[in-house]
Amino acid sequence: MKTKVRYNSKYAENLKKILLQHINSNMKDYLILSIIFIIGVMIGVVIINNSNEQSKSEINGYINSFVNTIKEEKYEIDRAKLTKISIIENLKIVGIIWVAGSTIIGIPIIYLFIAYKGFSIGYTISAIISSLGVWKRYRLFISIIIFTKYNCNTHNIDVKCKCY
């Protein structure tokens, strides 16, 4: 039996008003953090593009072996363990950012974490794009999107995704 969730429009309007007020009052901080994140992404892309041939071949070999392992279905993913590890690691980062934000000396640490996250994303995406061709890249990204969409296991349907 499903329970109905009541929609309290007054509460939602108050929450929306508070969020908009917070965003408007801290727009400068959000802009600075966004710029630092984008700079981190660009540094990650530049590092991959300017790396030597040996590094590129190692990255290509790693990504291609990973895709082949998934393609051959030798790779088992323990979703519960992966989720637990991901939550623990992200809570550590949130804790460090919270403690760093509590002190004036630690505020640059927050900027370094945001730049590192941007660097990681830029490096990873650039490595995938450089190692896989255009067609394989699109199939990989479409497979990832389908996998994450149907991975929720809704209505007891378990869909497996194959990377080509």
Beta strands in 13-142 (DSSP E): none
More confident residue, 20 or 152: 20
- Residue range 34-61, pLDDT digits in tens: 999 999 999 998 998 888 888 888 888 8
Q: In the numeric block, which tokens belong to residue 37?
A: 């994140």
Alpha-carbon gap, residue 128 to 54, rounded angstroms: 16
Residue 149 pLDDT > 60, yes or no?
no
Q: What residue type is assigned to position 137 of the chain?
A: R
Q: HSE (CB half, 13 Å, CA atoms) of 57? A: 3
Rounded alpha-carbon distances, angstroms, from residue 49 to 29, 120, 137? 30, 14, 17
Residue 106 pLDDT > 50, yes or no?
yes
Structural domain spans, the chain: 9-132
Q: What residue type is assigned to position 107 of the chain?
A: I
Q: 């990681």: which residue's tokens?
A: 120
